[in-house]
Amino acid sequence: MTNAAEGDGMSTYRIQGATGDWEVVIGLEVHAQITTNAKLFSGASTKFGSEPNANVSLVDAAMPGMLPVPNGECIRQAVRTGMALGAEINRWSRFDRKNYFYADLPQGYQISQLYHPLVGEGSLMVEADEKAGIAAPKTIGIERIHVEQDAGKLMHDQHPTRSYVDLNRSGVALMEIVSRPDMRSPAEAGAYLRKLRSILRYVGSCDGNMEEGSMRADVNVSVRKAGEPFGTRTETKNVNSVRFVMATIEYEANRQVDVIEGGGTIVQETRLFDPDRTETRSMRSKEDAHDYRYFPDPDLLPLELSDAFLSECEASLPELPDAKRTRYETALGLSPYQAAVITADVETARWFEALLGETAVAQGKSEAEVAKTASNWLTSDLFGALNRLGVSIGDSPVTTANGAALLALVADGTLSGSLAKQVFEIMLETGDAPGRIVDERGLRQTSDTGAIEAVIADVMARNADKVAEYRGGKDKLFGFFVGQTMKAMAGKGNPAAINDLLKKALG
Amino acid sequence: MSVDLPTVRKIASLARIAVTDAEAAAIVPELNNILGWVEQLSAVDTDGIAPMTAVIPNSLRLRDDVVTDGNRRDDVLKNAPQAEHGFFAVPKVIE
What are the domain boundaries of chain B?
Answer: 5-42
My answer on whether A176 and A203 are in the same domain is: yes
Q: Closest residue of B to A166, CA-based?
A: B87
Let me know if residue A10 belongs to a domain: no
pTM exceeds 0.80 for this model = yes
Contact status, residue A168 vs residue A55, Cβ threshold 8 Å: yes
Question: Which domain-ending residue is among A414, A441, A468?
Answer: A441
Note whether A31 and A174 are same-domain residues: yes
Residues of chain A whose pLDDT is less than 50? 1-9
Domain annotation covers residue A336: yes
Within 8 A of B13 by CB-CB distance, chain A residues are 288
A103 touches chain B (CB under 8 A): yes
Chain A CB contacts of B12 under 8 Å are: none
Comparing alpha-carbon positions, the chain A residue that sits nearest to B79 is A63
Integer angstrom CA distances of residue A476 from A44, A143, A452, A479, A493: 76, 68, 21, 6, 21
Strand partners, A249: none
Check if A280 contacts B (Cβ < 8 Å). no
Q: What is the CATH number of the domain that holds A483?
A: 1.10.10.410
A163–B94 CB contact, under 8 Å: yes
In this predicted structure, what is the pLDDT of residue A303?
96
* ipTM at complex level: 0.90
DSSP conformation letters of A108-121: SEEEE-SSS-SB--
Interstrand relation of A109-112 and B87-91 (parallel, antiparallel or unpaired): unpaired
Q: Is A225 inside any structural domain?
A: yes
CA distances from A394 to A35, A338, A351, B24 (A): 19, 19, 8, 63
User: pLDDT per residue over A128-152, tens digit each?
Assistant: 888 889 989 999 999 999 999 999 9
- Examine residue A3 and state whether it is found in any structural domain, yes or no: no
pLDDT attached to residue A328:
97
Residue A4 belongs to a domain: no
pLDDT reported for residue A5: 35
Tell whether A210 and A106 lie within a shared domain: yes
| Residue A73 within any structural domain of the chain | yes
Q: Which residues of A129-148 are buried (b: 16+ CB within 10 A; e: fewer)?
A: beebebeeebebebbbbbbb
Helix (H) or strand (E) holding A375: helix A367-376
Q: Are residues A393 and A427 in the same domain?
A: yes
Q: What is the pLDDT of residue A3?
A: 36
Q: Report pLDDT for A451.
A: 84
Question: How many folded domains does chain A comprise?
Answer: 3
Q: Give me the pLDDT at residue B95, please.
A: 53
Cα A398 to Cα A430: distance, rounded to the nearest angstrom: 9
Residue A8 resides in a domain: no
Give the structural domain span for A484. Answer: 449-506
The gap from C-alpha A351 to its chain's centroid, in whole angstroms, comes to 14
Q: How many Å lie between the alpha carbon of A62 and the closest alpha carbon of chain B?
A: 10
CB of A70 within 8 Å of a chain B CB? The answer is yes
A295 and A367 within one domain? no
Judgement on whether residues A100 and A222 belong to the same structural domain of the protein: yes
A247 and A133 part of one domain? yes
Domain termination residue (choose one: A261, A284, A309): A309
Instruction: Kindly report, residue by residue over A403-442, the tens digit of the pLDDT.
Output: 999 999 999 888 888 889 999 999 999 999 999 998 888 7
Asked if A161 and A252 sit in the same domain, the reply is yes
pLDDT in tens, A31-43: 999 999 999 999 9
- Please tell me whether residues A294 and A339 are part of one structural domain: no
CB burial readout B78-87, b (16+ within 10 A) else e: eeeeebeeeb
Which pLDDT belongs to residue A6?
A: 41
Residues A236, A152 share a domain: yes
Does residue A6 form part of some domain?
no
Same domain for A372 and A435: yes
Q: Are residues A208 and A302 in the same domain?
A: yes
Beta-carbon contacts of residue A446 (< 8 Å; ≥ 6 apart): A452, A489, A492, A493, A494
Q: What is the pLDDT along chain B (95 residues), one digit of tens a residue?
A: 889 999 999 999 888 899 999 999 999 999 999 999 999 999 999 999 988 877 888 889 999 999 999 999 999 999 999 999 999 999 998 75
